[in-house]
């Protein structure tokens, strides 16, 4: 199985399709298989070389249990280690929720590796490590609490329930305890083309707050998906894929 090594932490990845490279980063608690489950891979693999990554703490990648192992430089290093392993100098990036945050961190710290950036369901604001992060209590409550929260907007597929139940929650808690710095002041330096999409009913990252924060980006498009909450916005590819495809096609012509 293909693994990249980032200072002793193994990062699992898979590649499919052909065309310009597109790094795809799943949401917290997920795995790279989610991109196939919801149809993203099938819809994009004929036009792009998809680089699907199990982020540290997830899937088949290593799962440290200390918060320091999820610091920003390490998470970014995981992605660049995979790219280096594949001989990919630059790529388009697509990340949702926690994966969107990693994509943002890559655009901020290694912008020379990022051709364009697509971020779904995630703002640039920071989080604290003092226990006030609402996601921490959710993960400390365990997988059943995660499932109940996700199913508030409708039943989850059996595959996704199994993935949540099988997750390493010690690693998930360590991940959530690792602070995210506020990137709002850094956005003006992210000059690559950016697409932001978010559900109209996203309570974690309300669109007015998120879009106001991102308004400083030099080259950005914003899409609000009507009637969708945080979980739904990542799954409704019938609504998400058209703007993603249009954005990537436009970027490729530049």
Q: Are strands 194-199 and 220-225 parallel, antiparallel or unpaired?
A: parallel
Strands 49-53 and 21-25, by their bridges, are parallel
**What is the rounded CA–CA span in Å between residue 247 and residue 95?**
14
Residue ranges of the domains in the chain? 3-126+181-253
Q: Is 122 helix (H, G, I), strand (E, B) or coil?
A: coil
String of DSSP letters for 55-67: -TTSTTS----SG
Which pLDDT score is estimated for 157? 84
pLDDT of the residue at 203: 86
Structure tokens at 42: 């099938």
pLDDT score, position 84: 98
The pLDDT, as a whole number, for residue 2 is 95
Q: Name which CATH class applies to 3-126+181-253.
A: alpha beta
Between 72-86 and 98-109, two packed helices, what is the crossing angle to 10 degrees? 80
What is the end-to-end Cα distance of the chain in Å, rounded?
A: 36
Low-confidence ranges of the chain (pLDDT < 50): none
Q: Which two tokens stand for residue 159?
A: 């595959």
Phi and psi angles of residue 70, each rounded to the nearest 5 degrees, phi first? -115, 20
pLDDT of residue 147: 87
């Amino acid at each position: 199985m293909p693994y990249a090594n980032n200072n002793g932490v193994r990062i699992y990845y898979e590649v499919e399709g052909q065309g310009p490279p597109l790094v795809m980063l799943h949401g917290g608690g997920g795995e790279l298989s989610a991109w196939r489950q919801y149809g993203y891979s099938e819809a994009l693999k004929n036009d792009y070389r998809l680089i699907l990554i199990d982020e540290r703490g997830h899937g088949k990648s290593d799962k440290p249990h200390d918060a320091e192992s999820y610091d920003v430089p390490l998470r970014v290093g995981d992605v660049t280690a995979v790219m280096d392993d594949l001989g990919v100098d630059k790529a388009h990036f697509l990340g949702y929720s926690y994966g969107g945050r990693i994509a943002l961190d890559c655009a901020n710290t290694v912008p020379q590796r990022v051709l364009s950036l697509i971020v779904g369901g995630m703002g640039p604001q920071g989080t604290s490590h003092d226990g006030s992060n609402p996601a921490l209590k959710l993960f400390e409550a365990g997988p059943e609490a995660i499932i109940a929260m996700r199913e508030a907007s409708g039943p989850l597929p059996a595959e996704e329930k199994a993935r949540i139940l099988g997750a390493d929650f010690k690693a998930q808690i360590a991940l959530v305890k690792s602070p995210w710095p506020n990137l709002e002041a850094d956005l003006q330096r992210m000059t690559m083309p950016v697409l932001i999409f978010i559900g109209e009913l996203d309570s974690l990252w309300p669109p007015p707050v998120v879009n106001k924060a991102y308004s400083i980006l030099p080259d950005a498009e914003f899409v609000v998906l009507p009637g969708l909450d945080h979980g739904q916005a990542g799954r409704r590819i019938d609504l998400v894929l058209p703007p993603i495809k249009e954005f990537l096609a436009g970027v490729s012509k530049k």
